[in-house]
């Protein structure tokens, strides 16, 4: 996934914060950064095997949350719809 795609999918995230988080995720071996020798430069981010495992956990949490919200709709007054979900992320990134 390209930087611009990630930035577009996370509402309210500054470019500075995204750059910092991507660097940290790369240092922690969660994502891999590929720089292509093109002009202009093209950079893509993909999950490492460790990142794919982590994404599977996030998907499970998202599913649990959706089920919880559905089952408890009457008791929940506010849900933040600007929260990023992994639904927008291409499935081939974690396959």
- Give 74-92 pLDDT, tens digit per residue: 665 555 544 555 555 555 5
The first and second tokens of residue 60, run together, are 């499970």
Cα separation, 26 vs 21, in Å, equals 8
Q: Does 27 or 62 have the greater pLDDT score?
A: 27
Q: What residues does each domain of the chain span? A: 3-93
> What pLDDT score was predicted for residue 82?
43
Cα 88 from Cα 5, distance rounded (Å)? 10
CATH 1.10.10.10 applies to domain 3-93:
yes
Q: What is the mean pLDDT of residues 34-52?
A: 94
CA-based nearest residue to 47, from 38, 57, 60 = 57
Residue 34 confidence (pLDDT) above 70? yes
In the prediction, which pLDDT does 32 show? 98
- Per DSSP, helices labelled H in 10-47 are 15-27
Backbone angles phi, psi at 50, to 5 degrees: -65, -40
Rounded mean pLDDT of the chain?
A: 83
């Amino acid at each position: 996934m390209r930087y611009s795609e990630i930035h577009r999918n996370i509402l309210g995230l500054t470019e500075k914060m995204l750059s910092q988080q991507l660097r940290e995720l790369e240092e922690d071996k969660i994502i891999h950064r590929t720089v292509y020798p093109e002009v202009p430069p093209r950079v893509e981010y993909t999950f490492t095997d460790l990142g794919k495992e982590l994404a599977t956990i996030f998907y499970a949490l998202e599913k649990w949350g959706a089920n919880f919200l559905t089952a408890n709709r009457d008791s929940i007054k506010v849900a933040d719809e600007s929260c990023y979900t992994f639904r927008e992320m291409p499935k081939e990134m974690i396959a």
